[in-house]
Amino acid sequence: MSLFSAENKEAFVSPLNLNNPVAVQVLGICSALAVTSQLEPAIVMGLSVTVITAFANVIIALLRKTIPNRIRIIIQLVVVAALVTIVSMVLKAFAYDVSVQLSVYVGLIITNCILMGRLEAFAMQNGPWESFLDGIGNGLGYAFVLVVVGTIRELLGSGSLLGFRIIPEAAYECGYMNNGMMTMPAMALILVGCFIWAHRAINKEDK
């Protein structure tokens, strides 16, 4: 099978749109609500989940024929926990401020439904390359939602993105005010709901 066959392309592209893990499968919602008050932690969380999902998929795909069926979930959890620990240590070493912002949510990647779902539904039935593409696709699909929500919340909540002022001072002098509601978890839920509604409305005919 070609590395870039139609099936492999579908495994990568589908989670980015028509089978997005958040918008379609409604998975990973908890962290999407918790880490999107600012754009930077949203990006870091999205990339972390992408890396962990991709490599966990590859490892499980390599081991799938040797894993006893009755302990497969335990093996999957051990693999994910090891990768999460490595990512957490890297973040603390090179992006400590962001790791503090993410707090316990990096550790909770271990229980992320997207991860366990892809390991069980895809990696256990497919080869390493296909599983890698599936992991990257689902991770990026999840990250895309976090980035969209994080961008809206930080821009409207504080007038900045990644710490850089976007809304000019002149706007504030004319009476513009930051929307404090955007920094509240409830607003994240509303924005994710709006994203899901818009996604399903746009892709209704394609589905």
Q: Residue 8: its pLDDT value, please?
A: 83
Packing angle, helices 72-94 and 39-63, rounded to 10: 140
Of the listed ranges 50-59, 98-107, 160-169, the one predicted with least confidence:
98-107
Question: Is it the case that residue 106 has pLDDT exceeding 90?
Answer: no
Is 164 domain-assigned?
yes
**103 or 202, which is more confident?**
202
Assign 206 a pLDDT band (cuts: 50, 70, 90).
low
- In angstroms, the CA 15 to CA 3 distance is 18
Give the bridge partners for 165, in sequence order.
Answer: 160
* Mean predicted confidence (pLDDT) in 151-168: 89
Q: pLDDT tens-digit profile of 127-139?
A: 999 999 999 999 9
Question: Is it the case that residue 103 has pLDDT exceeding 80?
Answer: no
Q: Give the Cα-Cα-Cα angle 167, 170, 174 (nearest 5 degrees).
A: 105
* Mean predicted confidence (pLDDT) in 39-65: 93
- How many folded domains does the chain comprise? 1
Asked if 99 and 92 count as a contact pair (C-beta separation under 8 A), the reply is yes
The count of C-alpha atoms lying within 13 angstroms of the C-alpha of 205, restricted to the half-sphere facing its C-beta, is: 1
Average pLDDT value over all residues in the chain: 87
Is 42 domain-assigned?
yes
**Which domain covers residue 60, as residue numbers?**
20-201
Asked if 120 and 41 count as a contact pair (C-beta separation under 8 A), the reply is no
* Mean predicted confidence (pLDDT) in 182-194: 87
Is 2 domain-assigned?
no
Is 60 domain-assigned?
yes
Q: pLDDT tens-digit profile of 62-100?
A: 999 999 989 999 999 999 999 999 999 999 998 888 888
Is 148 domain-assigned?
yes
Q: Residue 182: its pLDDT value, please?
A: 87
CA-based max dimension of the chain = 67
The fraction of the chain above a pLDDT of 90, given in percent, is 41
Question: Is it the case that residue 60 has pLDDT exceeding 90?
Answer: yes
Q: Residue 153: its pLDDT value, please?
A: 92
Is 143 domain-assigned?
yes
Is 13 domain-assigned?
no
Q: Residue 2: its pLDDT value, please?
A: 64
Task: Assign 165 to helix, strand or coil.
Answer: strand
pTM for this entry: 0.88
Is 156 domain-assigned?
yes
